[in-house]
A and B are shown apart, each in its own frame.
Chain A
Amino acid sequence: MQLKVLLILSNKMEKQLEDLKAIREMMEKSSRFLSLSGLSGILAGITATLGAAFAYFFLLRDPAATSFTRIQEIVILMSDALLVLVISIGFGIYFSSKKAHKKDQKLFNKVTMKTLYNLSIPLITGGIISLIFLYRGDVEMVAAITLVFYGLALVNVSKFTFDEIHYLGITEIVLGIAAAIFMHNGILFWTIGFGICHIVYGFVMYKKYDLE
C-alpha cells in the first residue's frame, strides 16, 4: 500500500519535472535566436585574420614599398574588409541554417528578424561613421570605430541569443577603445577582436551548444 502511494508520488514528481523542462524550453525557443552556430564564429575569425594579414603585409607594414595613391590604398583596404564581411556573413548563414535544419526549425522566423534588426542598428551606424572617417582620410580610427560599434551591436543583441555574445561584445568594445588610444596599432587590435576573439568564442560555443 505504502509502496503504491510512493510510486504515485514519484510519478507526479516526474511529471512536474518534465513540465518545468518543457516550460523552460518553450520560453527559450520562443524568445531567443538559438540557431547561431559556433562554427560560423570560428570561420569568421579565420577569414578576418587572413584579411588583416593581407592588409598588413601587402600595404600597412611598409607603405613606401608600394606605389599606390592614398585613394587607391583606401579602396584596397575597403574591398578587403568588404570581402571579409561578405564571406563571414555567408558562413554565418550557411552554418546557422544547417543547425536550424538539424533541429527541425526554420532559420528565418520572428525571433531571427528581431535579432537581426537589433544587431543592424549599431552596426549600420558604425559603418556610416567609419565611412565618414575614411572619407576624411582618417584610416587609423576605422579599426577602433568598427570594433566599438560591433561590440555595442553584440551587447545589444545578446538578450535575444546566447549569453556568451554579451561578453564577446564587451571584449570588442574594450579592444576598440584600446585601438583608439594606441592608434598606430589599430590593425593589431582589429585582428585580435575580429580574428582571435571570434575563433575563441566560436570554439567555446561550438563545444558548449553544437556538440550535443
Chain B
Amino acid sequence: MANIIANLNKAFESRIRLGIMSILSVNASVDFNTMKELLELTDGNLASHIKALEGLNYIQSFKQFIGRKPNTNYSLTESGRQSFKEHLDALETLIK
C-alpha cells in the first residue's frame, strides 16, 4: 500500500493544481483568464499555483499581446504531461 501511495505526486495534492493540469491536458493552450473562470479563483491564488507548476517545469507560458493587452497562454510541458499521467495511473490503481 505504502508503495502505491509513493507514486502519487506531491505536487498535485492540491485540488487547484489538479484542476490546472486537467484543463491543460485536454487543451493545446489556455489563457490565464479562461483558467481563472473555469476554476473560479482569484488572480493571486491562480498565479501562485501556476508559478509553482512552472517552477517544477510541468507547465510553460507564452506571453503575447492582443491589441495592447498582454495575454499569457499556458500549456503542458512533456515532463508535465508524463508526471500527470503517472499521477492519474497511481490514483486509479489505488481505487481498484
Return chain B residues, CB-CB under 8 Å to A24: 22
B5 lies within 8 A of A12 (CB): yes
A187 CB to closest chain B CB, in angstroms? 42
Residues in A with CB closer than 8 Å to B37 are 106, 109
Distance in angstroms between the alpha carbons of A174 and B37 in the assembled complex: 40
CB of B34 within 8 A of CB of A109, answer yes
**Of B5, B22, B38, which is within 8 A of A23 by CB?**
B22
Name the segment of B44-52, B62-70, B86-94 touching the other chain.
B86-94
Interface of A is mostly: helix
B23 beta carbon closer than 8 Å to chain A: yes
Q: How far is the CB of A201 from chain B (nearest CB, A)?
A: 25
Contacts of B25 in A (CB 8 A): 27
Encode contact with B along A1-44: 1 for CB under 8 Å, 0 otherwise.
00000000100110011011011101101110000000000000
Measured between beta carbons, the chain B residues less than 8 angstroms from A9 are 1
**Minimum CB distance partner of A30 in chain B:** B23
Known contacts: A12-B5, A110-B34. The answer to whether A26 contacts B19 by CB under 8 A is yes
Q: Name the CB-closest residue of B to A20.
A: B91
Q: Hey, which chain A residues are within 8 Å of B15, CB to CB?
A: 19, 22
- Please indicate the chain A residues that have their CB under 8 angstroms from the CB of B26 in the complex: 27, 30-31
Please classify the interface of chain B as helix (H, G, I), strand (E, B), loop, or mixed, using the class held by over half of its residues: helix
A29 in contact with B38 (CB, 8 Å): yes
Contacts A9-B1, A19-B15, A31-B27 given; does A26 touch B92 at CB 8 Å: no
Which residue of chain B lies nearest to A28 when distances are taken between CB atoms in the complex? B26
A27–B88 Cα distance when bound, in Å, is: 13
Rounded to whole Å, the gap between the CB of B80 and the closest CB of chain A is 14
Complex Cα distance, B8 from A13, in Å, reads 12
Q: Tell me whether A19 and B30 are in contact in the complex, defined as CB-CB below 8 angstroms, given that A26-B22, A27-B22, A30-B38 are known contacts.
A: no
Please judge, given known A-B contacts A9-B1, A13-B94, A16-B94, whether A22 and B18 are in contact too, CB under 8 Å: yes
- Beyond A26-B38, A27-B23: 4 further Cβ-contacts under 8 Å? A20-B91, A26-B22, A27-B22, A27-B26
A-B pairs with lowest CB-CB distance, top 10: A26-B22, A30-B23, A31-B26, A23-B22, A27-B26, A26-B19, A27-B22, A16-B91, A16-B94, A30-B38
Q: Give me 18 A-to-B residue pairs in the complex whose CB atoms sit less than 8 angstroms apart, sorted by A's number.
A: A12-B5, A13-B94, A19-B15, A20-B92, A22-B15, A22-B18, A23-B18, A23-B19, A23-B21, A23-B88, A26-B23, A27-B23, A27-B26, A30-B30, A30-B34, A30-B38, A109-B34, A110-B30
